[in-house]
A and B are shown apart, each in its own frame.
Chain A
């Protein structure tokens, strides 16, 4: 076995960690004193995943001291996962950034404090200098989908109107953009087609690549409630996740072969005439081409490609094919691929062939990952997008938004590049400056040794964050932003329901609401036209107008309407053409209902194309970008665990969550472990062509024997993304987090970090 190049290792950063953490916070003082009544309880939502569970935060003296269930909020009815229960410990945290900082190599931690005004001045100067010397596009912006929709809207406006740079993108690019792109290709709209209530009462529930119990825990109850009433649950996953443990049919797919599986299922549906011919005829186009393409996917061939028993594939097709009602849910498991759009389209094809969409208990949805995974991908912070789901490349759309913003359409830049391409351009010296918010690329992007190099190459990097994230440690200036509970606004959760985030406490020290920081930079640049909002409510009012008439129409939504009805589902236009009924008080919970009107089809049909018909899109099967070989013979797949969230910048600072699963472990099957001489708990090195990671082994029979799993919530040398490949889907640009080739060995010695870092660091 050859070891050509020793893969690079991230620095241990001991001194920076000493000053800025991550350290673990536990409840102390007023957070544990018995018998003390809080000053008030504020109804709001969790800051973490896309479910956006309603909860109440208890406040005493500008400190959040506890949580109380919010039983009336219909989506979760008081239910919370452990992150929701303990989320409040991120506030009043010892690691919280209370000041601005600037890089200072002479300081032990690498940073020294800076006044807020001075920091804003330095940022503005650097932007001005870089854009003057190298052109507007030389300054890029990376934003995030955990921000409120108001902030996401403002970030798009800041980049496109104030900086006039093409190069803005967001971390939803790593999340579910392949689902979004596929939904637009098939339905013309990118939103869950149904509210979660439609899961209850469905006859068959198909869960593809979604570790529901750990990544969207509340959805578990919906699925099991359906099962109590007779639903059959089919789970497609390379691991027996908690939701798979008790499912009715488990399909242990080989990572990267989802299109083959869905093609095989569709072929069996066609063969057995388990189709809704009337629906296909009346409401879709393109079925014949798809039918031609899947003909080759016989059960035998599908079984060989996917590693699933032929009998299981036949059973799945029969259950799905003959069901009267159904709900198909998928998540990153089929989306995080270099052919993610095809995977999703092939899943949509079996939904369209069944005709079971747009009706009660007949549903389809991707399970969004981030808090505002839905709203964050609608209003103009994506590299090719304008508010309302409009396109930056479409002259009509440009004209409409330019008019709302009071500028000329030509003042808007052309579409830019995706988040990873921004890193490539930075590394190549083409992009010189970067502003990031709500994004921790050093942990979250694939092949992150490359990402570190890109950040080091930048002339100037400013990070807005509430904690010193692994990425902020590379910044020249760090500005103290706001936690979710320190600001107000709206987010749009997994069902397409817009909910209200209420402010609970004030930002501490020099920290500011993020939208104020952005506006302060614009002002210091002398380019604050259109960026002089006084509160998030004013931003929302403009967003309503900017989204009006677009696919993601928020024009009929108001804060009051949201609070009154426990959320409003978009589209919710403020006015409809004559003869078209206005949406109900809750907006549009279910899409594609027979006779539904939309601004693209204008009454021709329920789908968002001029003819009102959904599209079957052919999905030729392609394997993963990096397949296994003799040198790297195992598949690495990555994902989440229940007690941590994304890059862990928040959850690795919450003591009780860290204690649940302190460090990443490499899951591998006992048969594989025996062959490699690895026992439970052994230090194990996982190595790819790009990086290496030594963690303890978890030998479990709940994973395919040809696959190993690493969770990706940790930074530095514990980061799974040192290993992953930066191959991207050609359409959506989502990276392939779910498949790369690795070799696994028993480590000769414990890793160096063991002696100097705590588990969460």
Chain B
């Protein structure tokens, strides 16, 4: 059964509290028990508690599949990019290096690329993925577009990303402010933006320093 078209995945990094519940829940998935396919990291712990979870974005034209010399990575009709097929994967690491989001991981023990398959065993029977089920702040959420619009009126889902000259559309949405100017996230441009964390923090404690 395909993943129902009406159900979508939404990521809102602003909500992330760094609890690692998604990472722990990912290791409970029956197809890769004990291993997490999610990366969750601090952006800059010295300056802020901000963390960001990274799940597979499930691209419409997945770079990982495009660069795979063994044709091991399949995108199913419902838009889910599956983990590499074991009989075909030659563990060449092409996908690991090419993915603009940095998602696929090489399991060197099994000589197999593994990545998030949006809990296909769950989502294909209408259940939520493990990570979006447990996420206590719902930074990772799974549901209908209508539900999200009703529950989060001040945010809007975006699924177009620019990496230099490459524009990527994904099945997974990222929530941005509803009054954001663009319906596209320019990832490479943002890489060169200065971090705002430190300035804000120094100001917060500016009047309380007991130097």
Contacts and interface: CB of A to CB of B under 8 A. Distances in A.
B18 to A, nearest CB: 6
Contact of B138 (A79, A303, A706): A79
B86 interface: no
Nearest to A243: B17
Given A80-B25, A228-B151, A245 B30 contact: no
Given A81-B21, A660-B20, A702 B33 contact: no
Contacts of B50: 245
Given A34-B30, A656-B24, A705-B205, A670 B134 contact: no
A397 to B, nearest CB: 40
Given A671-B209, A702-B48, A78 B134 contact: yes
A35 B19 contact: no
B210 to A, nearest CB: 4
Contacts of B133: 69, 71, 78-80
Interface string B178-211: 0000000000000000000110011011011111
A691 B193 CA distance: 46
26 contacts: A27-B27, A35-B30, A69-B128, A71-B128, A78-B128, A79-B136, A80-B25, A214-B17, A214-B19, A217-B17, A217-B136, A217-B137, A221-B136, A225-B151, A228-B153, A229-B153, A240-B49, A242-B17, A245-B50, A250-B204, A252-B204, A699-B46, A701-B48, A704-B205, A705-B209, A706-B208
A309 B20 contact: no
B152 A220 contact: no
B15 interface: yes
Contacts of A638: none
B79 interface: no
B137 A240 contact: no
A27 B28 CA distance: 9
Determine the main DSSP class of A at the interface with B.
Answer: loop
B31 interface: yes
Contacts of A79: 133-136, 138
B183 to A, nearest CB: 20
Interface in A6-41: 26-27, 31-35
Contacts of A512: none
A656 B208 contact: no
Q: Which of A67, A228, A699 has the most CB atoms of chain B within a 10 A radius of its CB? A: A228
Interface in A187-233: 213-214, 217-218, 220-221, 224-225, 228-230
- Which range contains the number of B residues in contact with the other chain? 35 or more
Interface of A: 26-27, 31-35, 66-67, 69, 71, 78-82, 84-86, 213-214, 217-218, 220-221, 224-225, 228-230, 240-243, 245-246, 250, 252, 254, 303, 307-309, 642-643, 656-657, 660, 669-671, 675, 680, 698-702, 704-706
Contacts of B201: 240, 701-702
B10 to A, nearest CB: 13
A284 to B, nearest CB: 34
A85 B19 CA distance: 11
A624 B135 CA distance: 37
A40 to B, nearest CB: 16
Given A34-B31, A213-B18, A642-B17, 13 more contacts: A66-B28, A69-B133, A79-B135, A80-B133, A82-B24, A221-B137, A224-B138, A225-B151, A228-B152, A240-B48, A307-B207, A705-B208, A706-B208
B47 interface: yes
A84 B19 CA distance: 11
B14 interface: yes
Interface of B: 14-15, 17-21, 23-25, 27-28, 30-31, 33-34, 45-51, 128, 130, 133-138, 151-155, 197-198, 201-202, 204-205, 207-211
Nearest to A33: B33
Given A26-B34, A700-B45, A85 B208 contact: no
A671 B198 CA distance: 12
Contacts of B25: 80, 85
Q: Which of B14, B21, B31, B33 has the most CB atoms of chain A within a 10 A radius of its CB? A: B21
A308 B210 CA distance: 12
Contact of A701 (B30, B47, B154): B47
B155 A705 contact: no
A84 B134 CA distance: 9
B153 A213 contact: no
A71 B132 CA distance: 12
B138 to A, nearest CB: 5
B205 A252 contact: yes
Contacts of A699: 46
Contacts of A643: 19-20
A31 B33 CA distance: 8
